Structure 1
Amino acid sequence: MTGDSGAGWLLTGDADDFLARAGAYLRADPALHTVTLSVTASLRESGLAAYGARHQLFGVLYGPDGRVDGTFLWTEPFRLNISPLDRVQADALAVALQGREPSGVFGPDDAAAAFADAWRARTGAGVRRAIEQRLFRLDEFTPPEPAPAGRPRVATTADLELVTRWRDDFDAELGTFVGGSQSWADERISYGGITFWESADGTPLSLAGVTRESAGAVRVGPVYTPQDLRGRGYGGAVTAEVSQAALAAGAREVLLFTDLANPTSNALYQRIGYRPVRDFDVYAFTDPSHPPTSESS
């Protein structure tokens, strides 16, 4: 633990210590802090095995009045996840993390941009906006009609290989592949967090995941359908199934992120009843000693 001396960033590798300090701040807006809450819940339940990560680090930003003004979490090799931060707070975080090597940052669009700018200025790293996302909240649930042929089924340990492969395919399409998919799949399956839409003969056609419930909120994702099976309603059906199941289980908020580059899925989720909350961005960082390839420039 570092920085326990008043205002500024405090860093800790202990999830329980992090939540003791920042839990009330995070739970005050579970939609805005959905990633931090859900990831921390899985880390507390399953440890680093939940994501196949190498280490975990958390940060709490204290203001001059002693109140929590912001947070971050980082499970390497995944990107830094940050709360809303202004430019001064983002620059202070860049200073606090100097000497470390995050691969990027994910957070509310203005905060992510502020940290990316600060990181570039402080370290000379290459920076690019990799993904533009939008957070949605389920409002009035409207199941898609007509539903495609098939039925839902919760994945079991017998499905581990397929879930792992489809998670890798999903990440590869987004350009976010870093590995650890088998650990992630195993953890999701352990609490019933993966559902298939399958054909009458039991062939999986599409997949939707859900996070553990935290602060009354559940987040749907990923939703993945192999390319040769798209356009038939399977993704919408399985998304509707896990959304309704989350509501039935008592979730007060059901959330999901969409890729703004995919207008088809954005329109689909809104037909089911999801409404926009705010935009988030992913920035990728490049080590200044290794010039970026054309893909990451």
Structure 2
Amino acid sequence: MRSDDWHLTEDVDDFVARAGDFLCSRPALHTMPLTVTEKLRTRGADAYGAQAPVLGRLERAGKVRATFYRLRGLSLTPLTPEHADTLAAHLAALGHSIPHVSADHTTATAFAQAWQRHTGAAPTLSKRLRLYRLDSLTPPEPLPEGRGRVVGEQDHEQLVRWCGEFLDTVGEVPGVDADSWADSRFGDKHFTFWETPDGTPVSMAGSTSMVGRMIRVDPVYTPARHRGRGYAGAVTVEASRAALAAGATDVVLFADPADPTSNALYRRIGYVPVTEWAVYDFSAPAAEAG
């Protein structure tokens, strides 16, 4: 393979050594590969219940220009249409199976079209997200009564239940319970509750560990019976403030662009849009389906 080309590996440490500086150069935009590669590095592929990961970097003139990782699906940093086509052709030639692709909307669309050209697999837009980055934290006024507090071991049962409710609300699978918690996408996150003056938890926010001086707030959830009282904004502010106190220079979160309430909330407390995000699912090629 030429030096100016896509380089693939299953060695996470080698990938981080070669591409880590590139990923840290734009920590907000690269939030997903930063957290995923760190989890792979510290816990291995078993943390995702997946086969061995495939990681790739695009080099031009001796510098990394883009990366991808493939676990259950493919996740990309921003690519030009030309580079998306080159990657699609390369992965198709190697016989890779890709059930879905996730990236900024422009990149995901370019790759989806290229993958269809090279494999015949038809793409379907299955999810749209909006990536936000914290600019200047602005707590809502007035804050609801109560306080934020770090979630402790005594809260584990309620935390597992709320994360399961969150997954049901956003339509994600698989679900989560006490047995699957450690290997779920929540198992290594840090959580904050907002509780009323009598100590009743009413909302939660999770956050990733810091990597590349970036922390992602995820998830934010308020049970339906407690909504409309400002609790989500209050707990998001608490999680964001904790991230800044930990030394994060980039605090980010994803929101559903079709939900005007959450988008308005995040803007009010100081988050600004970075990019639109998209996930495309791929159907089996006609010959394979037949």
TM-score for both structures, normalised by structure 2: 0.88
Paired positions, count: 281
Q: Match for residue 85 of structure 2?
A: 91
Query: 1:160 touches 1:185 (CA, 8 Å); kept in 2?
Result: no
Q: Which residue of 2 aligns with 1:276?
A: 273
State the alpha-carbon separation in 1 of the partners of residues 255 and 167 from structure 2.
Answer: 13
**Aligned counterparts of 2:143 and 2:257: Cα–Cα separation in 1:** 25
> After TM superposition, what 4+ stretches of structure 1 lie above 4 angstroms from structure 2?
none
Q: Say if 1:157 and 1:186, in contact at 8 Å, map to a contact too.
A: no
Aligned to 1:62: 59
Please point out which of 208, 212, 218 is paired with 1:211: 208
Using the alignment, how far apart are the partners of 1:204 and 1:49 within structure 2? 32
SS of 1:55 mapped into structure 2:
coil
The code of the aligned residue for 2:63 comes to R
> What's the offset of the Cα at 1:141?
1.0
SS at structure 2 position matched to 1:163: helix
- The answer to whether the Cα contact below 8 Å between 1:41 and 1:212 also exists between their aligned partners in 2 is no
Quick one: distance in 1 between partners of 2:70 and 2:163?
20
Percent identity of equivalent pairs: 48
Which deviates more from structure 2 when the two are superposed, residues 105-114 or residues 277-286?
277-286
1:198 counterpart (195, 198, 201): 195
How does 1:1-297 map onto structure 2 within 5 Å? Answer: 5-63=2-60, 65-76=61-72, 79-98=73-92, 99-179=95-175, 182=181, 183=183, 184-188=185-189, 193-288=190-285
SS state of the match for residue 205, structure 2?
A: strand
Deviation at 1:49, TM superposition (A): 4.5
Go from structure 1 to structure 2 and tell me whether the alpha carbon gap of 1:131 and 1:111 turns closer, same or farther (over 3 Å shift): same
**Which amino acid is the alignment partner of residue 91 of structure 1?**
D
- For residues 228 and 25 of structure 1, do their structure 2 counterparts lie closer, same or farther at Cα, with a shift above 3 Å needed? same
Q: Distance in 2 between matches of 1:57 and 1:230?
A: 41
1:50–1:187 CA contact under 8 A, matched in 2: no
Give 5+ residue unaligned stretches, structure 2.
Answer: none
Q: Deviations over 1:211-253 (max 9, x none)?
A: 1111111111111122232212111111000001111121112
Match of 1:123, as an amino acid? T
User: What do the CA deviations read for 1:41-96 (whole angstroms, capped 9, x no partner)?
Assistant: 22222323444444322111122x232121011222xx321011111211222223
Decide which moves more: 173-182 or 262-271. 173-182
- Give the Å deviation of 1:288: 3.3
What secondary structure, in the 3-state scheme, does the structure 2 residue paired with 1:239 have? helix
Give 5+ residue unaligned stretches, structure 1: 292-297
C-alpha spacing 1:270/1:232, structure 2 compared with 1 (3 Å): same
Paired amino acid for 1:127: P
Amino acid at match of 1:280: W
**Alpha-carbon displacement from aligned partner over 1:168-219 (angstroms, at most 9, x marks no partner):** 433343333245762233222xxxx111223344443222111111111111
- Code of the aligned partner of 1:149: E
Shift of 1:18: 0.7
8 Å CA contact 2:130, 2:273 repeated in 1 = yes
Q: Residue in 2 aligned with 1:294?
A: none
Partner of 1:295: none
In the TM superposition, residue 135 of structure 1 has moved relative to its aligned partner by: 1.5
Q: 2:282 is matched by which residue type in structure 1?
A: F
